[in-house]
């Protein structure tokens, strides 16, 4: 096998943007994916993506058949269905896409630049020499042959499977698997002939129906919807498919509906892994846990990571061997641009998962957090709470004063987390910083 400047594992949203950026900057790139080319982009997903991600990355909006619906915003329903938060505006308006077509468009953008592409090729493990990643050992799924692809630098863009991260030796210091409580196992279907029309993505909170998660109905074109449910991945969690069928698909609006596509998947709903780089390797997208911990949107940040990682990779390769020190800049850039917000939202997610339905009902009814502040929270990772005297009296009367205290504590902790990530350390101070992070999230 020839040697490349860069080998990228995974032709999903992060891998395709990384490939295109790298090739346009003159790198010799090999992109591999275990799927056949025509299936790339066919992913279990909610299919929603906010407009601002396309704007900030200079990618054309979805159009034609790829665009299934334009979305004005999100409506969030309380467990008792008495409160609805309508969240609109620049940060949430966007698109519901045909996921396969979006994936194929991103792939075409990468391939048209001139890259060596191997589909049906499964990455098995990183090749390591003197504690430095030197490429990927892979299996050709057509022939069964195991091959070695050598490269100066390697990117793990293999999504939730994190094929390389999981197979790095312990001394690299990366987590192999994500804690159960930080995972959201989901099941979703695309159904047609549903009696549902809306220009809003609808999210329903209910600890009783979806413990630690939520269920959703997102409008696609005409009477088509994307309907799904996720639960927190704690031991013995309920089966998301069973509870989706029991509590959601059983609703009257689905009575005449037909299934077009169905399946399950995992969302890593946590802050980014502590570091996104090591000697000869970088981590992108879901392989680095770059999803928004509150709503699970990961297409936007994965594309952002593809761009930022590659810009740093180009600089590092121009200076010589891509050591951890040279790649460190990617940590600084990503954490500042998106990771700090994600870190704050991770604290908020932990609080939300601990609340009881009646607490969510009261919180939404009395607007402890206002709908307009939810958007700001989601965009900035900061929590504004409005605890007026009246609210304090009501909550005292309801014996829910602990909830108020908890919210205040969460808001402070979110700020602390955000500050820590915004002041991401240089390589030498990383261990001390990581210790602070562990303490903060394990409190
Ligand atoms: C149920 C569900 C709903 C979601 N809804 C939304 C949503 O509405 N909006 C949103 O923005 N995000 C959503 N997400 C998250 C989003 O899909 C991901 O964050 C995003 O796709 C991550 O992109 P990626 O490039 O990191 O990985 P992926 O898009 O998963 O791409 C990884 C690629 O790597 C390949 N691969 C995997 N393992 C190997 C291997 N060993 N060797 C070679 N190739 C390999 C795969 O075939 C795939 O093509 C949802 C996720 C789930 C599970």
Block residue for tokens 């005292």: 396
375 vs 262, higher pLDDT: 262
pLDDT of residue 443: 65
Whether residue 381 is predicted with pLDDT greater than 90 in this model: the reply is no
Tokens of 185: 């196992």
Pick the residue whose CA is nearest to atom 4 on ligand 1: 45
Tell me the C-alpha distance between 411 and 244, whole Å: 32
Domain annotation for the chain: domains and CATH numbers: 3-47+101-177+274-322 (3.50.50.60), 68-97+180-268 (3.30.9.10), 344-442 (no CATH)
**Cβ(159) to ligand 1 under 6 A?**
yes
The full DSSP string for 107-119 is HHHHHTTT-EEE-
Q: What residues form DSSP beta bridges with 267?
A: 184
Which of 34-48, 66-80, 255-269, 383-397 shows the lowest per-residue confidence on average (mean pLDDT)?
383-397
Confidence band for 266, pLDDT divided at 50, 70 and 90? very high
**Cβ(16) to ligand 1 under 6 A?**
no
Q: E strands along 142-276, which residues?
A: 146-156, 183-192, 200-205, 214-219, 225-230, 258-268
Radius of gyration of the chain (CA): 22
Return the best residue to mutate from 10, 49, 219, 310 for the ligand 1 pocket (most ligand atoms within 8 A of CB): 10
pLDDT of residue 2: 67
Confidence band for 369, pLDDT divided at 50, 70 and 90? confident
**Cβ(297) to ligand 1 under 6 A?**
yes
H helix or E strand, kind and range, residue 85 = strand 84-88
Return the best residue to mutate from 161, 216, 229, 295 for the ligand 1 pocket (most ligand atoms within 8 A of CB): 161
Whether residue 397 is predicted with pLDDT greater than 90 in this model: the reply is no
pLDDT of residue 176: 93
pLDDT of residue 392: 73
Confidence band for 384, pLDDT divided at 50, 70 and 90? confident
Whether residue 218 is predicted with pLDDT greater than 70 in this model: the reply is yes
Block residue for tokens 């994600």: 342
Contact 37, 107 (CB under 8 A): yes
Return the best residue to mutate from 136, 140, 158, 187 for the ligand 1 pocket (most ligand atoms within 8 A of CB): 158
- In the reported structure, the alpha carbon of residue 162 is separated from the centroid of ligand 1 by a whole-number distance in angstroms of 10
Residue range 317-349, pLDDT digits in tens: 999 999 999 999 999 999 999 999 999 999 999
Buried (b) or exposed (e) across 187-208, using 16+ Cβ within 10 A?
A: bbbbbeebebeeebbbbbbbbe
The three-state secondary structure class of 280 is coil
- In the reported structure, the alpha carbon of residue 390 is separated from the centroid of ligand 1 by a whole-number distance in angstroms of 45
Whether residue 278 is predicted with pLDDT greater than 90 in this model: the reply is yes
Confidence band for 408, pLDDT divided at 50, 70 and 90? confident
Atom of ligand 1 lying closest to residue 228 CA: 1
- In the reported structure, the alpha carbon of residue 356 is separated from the centroid of ligand 1 by a whole-number distance in angstroms of 31
Round the average pLDDT of the chain to a whole number and report it. Answer: 94
Whether residue 163 is predicted with pLDDT greater than 90 in this model: the reply is yes
Q: What is this structure's pTM?
A: 0.96
């Amino acid at each position: 096998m020839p040697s490349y400047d860069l080998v990228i594992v995974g032709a999903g949203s992060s891998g395709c943007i990384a490939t295109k950026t790298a090739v346009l900057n003159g790198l010799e790139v090999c992109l591999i994916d275990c799927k056949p080319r025509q299936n790339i982009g066919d992913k279990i997903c909610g299919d929603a993506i906010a407009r601002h991600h396309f704007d900030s990355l200079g990618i054309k909006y979805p159009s034609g058949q790829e665009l299934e619906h334009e979305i004005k915003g999100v409506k969030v329903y309380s467990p008792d269905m008495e409160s609805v938060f309508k969240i609109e505006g620049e940060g949430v308006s966007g698109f519901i896409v045909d996921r396969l077509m979006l994936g194929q468009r991103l792939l075409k953008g990468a391939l048209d630049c001139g890259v060596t592409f191997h589909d049906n090729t499964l990455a098995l493990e990183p090749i390591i020499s003197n504690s430095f990643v030197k490429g990927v050992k892979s299996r050709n799924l057509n022939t069964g042959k195991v091959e070695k692809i050598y490269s100066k630098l390697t990117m793990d863009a293999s999504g939730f499977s994190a094929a390389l991260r999981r197979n790095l030796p312990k001394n690299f210091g990366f987590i192999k698997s994500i804690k159960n409580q930080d995972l959201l196992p989901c099941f979703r279907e695309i159904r047609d002939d549903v009696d549902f029309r809306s220009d809003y993505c609808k999210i329903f909170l209910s600890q009783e129906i979806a413990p630690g998660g939520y269920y959703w109905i997102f409008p696609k074109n005409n009477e088509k919807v994307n309907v799904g449910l996720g639960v927190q991945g704690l031991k013995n969690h309920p089966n998301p498919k069973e509870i989706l069928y029991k509590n959601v698909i059983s609703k009257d609006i689905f009575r005449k509906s037909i299934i077009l596509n169905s399946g399950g998947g995992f969302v890593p709903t946590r802050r980014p892994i502590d570091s996104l780089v090591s000697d000869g390797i970088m981590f992108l997208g879901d392989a680095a846990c770059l999803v928004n911990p509150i709503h699970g949107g990961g297409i936007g940040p994965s594309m952002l990571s593809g761009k930022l990682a590659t810009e740093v990779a180009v600089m590092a390769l121009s200076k010589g061997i891509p050591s951890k020190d040279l790649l460190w800049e990617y940590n600084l850039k990503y954490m500042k641009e998106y990771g700090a917000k994600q870190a704050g939202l991770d604290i908020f997610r932990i609080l939300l998962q601990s609340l009881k339905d009646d607490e969510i009902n009261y919180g939404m009814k009395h607007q402890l957090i206002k709908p307009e502040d939810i958007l700001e929270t989601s965009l900035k990772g900061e929590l504004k709470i409005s605890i007026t005297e009246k609210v304090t009296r009501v909550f005292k009367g309801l014996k829910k004063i602990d909830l108020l205290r908890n919210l205040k504590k969460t808001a402070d902790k979110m700020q602390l987390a955000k500050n820590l990530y915004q002041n991401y350390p240089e390589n030498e101070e990383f261990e001390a910083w990581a210790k602070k992070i562990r303490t903060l999230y394990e409190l």
